[in-house]
Structure 1
Amino acid sequence: MHIQDVLPRNAIPSIDDPTFGTEYIGDDGEDVIVVETTPARAYPVRILSYHEIVNDVFGDSDRIESWSRPPGDSTDESRPVAVTWCPICASAVVYDRRVDGRVLTFGTSGRLADDALVMYDRETESEWKQPLGKAINGPLNGHELSAVPASVISWKQFRSEYPDGIVLQPVHGGDGDPRGESPRTVYEMTPYERYDAAEGFGLREMRGEGRERSWDREDIDAKTVVLGISHGGDAVGYPVKQVQNAGGVVSDIVGDLDVIVVSSGNDIHAFEDPGYEFELREGVLYGDGTKWDITTGRSVDGRTLPRVASRRLYAFAWQDDHGPTSFYGLTSATHD
Structure 2
Amino acid sequence: MHIQDVLPRDAIPSVDDPTFGTEYIGDDDDDVIVVETTPARAYPVRILSYHEIVNDMLGDSDRIESGRCSPGDSTDESRPVAVTWCPICASAVVYDRRVDDRVLTFGTSGKLADDALVMYDRETESEWKQPLGKAIKGPLDGHELSVVPASVISWEQFRSDYPDGIVLQPIHGGDGDPRGESPQTVYKMTPYERYDAAEGFGLREMRGEGRERSWEHEDIDAKTVVLGITHRGDAVGYPVEQVQNVGGVVSDTVGGLDVLIVSSRDDIHGFEDPGYKFEFREGMLYGDGAKWDTTTGRSDDGRTLARVPSRRLYAFAWQDDHGPKSFYGLT
Match of 1:247 in 2: 247
Matches within 5 A, 1:21-100: 21-63=21-63, 67-71=69-73, 73-75=74-76, 77-100=77-100
Amino acid at match of 1:255: G
Q: Does 1:296 align with 2:296?
A: yes
Match of 2:233 in 1: 233
Matches within 5 A, 1:182-331: 182-331=182-331
Counterpart CA distance in 2 for 1:214 and 1:280 is 36
CA drift of 1:78 comes to: 1.0
SS at match of 1:50: coil
- CA displacement 1:64-102 (0-9 Å, x = unmatched): 69654444x523x11000000000000000000000000
Match of 1:178 in 2: 178
- CA displacement 1:250-298 (0-9 Å, x = unmatched): 0000011110000011000000000001111233110010100000000
CA drift of 1:234 comes to: 0.4
Match of 1:153 in 2: 153
Match of 2:18 in 1: 18
Amino acid at match of 2:8: P
Preserved CA contact (<8 Å) 1:39 1:64: no
- CA displacement 1:109-159 (0-9 Å, x = unmatched): 000000000000000000000000000000000000000000000000000
Preserved CA contact (<8 Å) 2:20 2:64: no
- Structure 1, unmatched stretches of 5+, are 332-336
Counterpart CA distance in 2 for 1:261 and 1:205 is 31
Preserved CA contact (<8 Å) 1:126 1:136: yes
CA drift of 1:63 comes to: 2.9
Preserved CA contact (<8 Å) 1:40 1:165: yes
Preserved CA contact (<8 Å) 2:119 2:128: yes
Change (3 A) 1:173 1:70: closer
Counterpart CA distance in 1 for 2:164 and 2:180 is 31
Amino acid at match of 1:256: G
Counterpart CA distance in 1 for 2:152 and 2:98 is 23
SS at match of 1:261: strand
SS at match of 1:88: coil
Preserved CA contact (<8 Å) 1:21 1:166: yes
Preserved CA contact (<8 Å) 2:261 2:268: yes
- Structure 2, unmatched stretches of 5+, are none
Identical-residue share of aligned pairs (%):
86
Amino acid at match of 1:177: D
Change (3 A) 1:64 1:274: farther
Counterpart CA distance in 2 for 1:119 and 1:282 is 43
Counterpart CA distance in 2 for 1:265 and 1:130 is 27
Preserved CA contact (<8 Å) 2:257 2:272: yes
Counterpart CA distance in 2 for 1:211 and 1:100 is 37
Counterpart CA distance in 2 for 1:321 and 1:214 is 16
Preserved CA contact (<8 Å) 2:149 2:310: yes
Amino acid at match of 1:207: R
Preserved CA contact (<8 Å) 2:136 2:142: yes
Worse-superposed segment, 280-289 or 202-211: 280-289
CA drift of 1:245 comes to: 0.7
Match of 2:142 in 1: 142
Please, what is the CA RMSD of the aligned residues? 1.1
Preserved CA contact (<8 Å) 2:21 2:64: no
Match of 1:2 in 2: 2
SS at match of 1:51: coil
Counterpart CA distance in 2 for 1:50 and 1:63 is 20
Amino acid at match of 1:320: D
Counterpart CA distance in 2 for 1:227 and 1:217 is 17
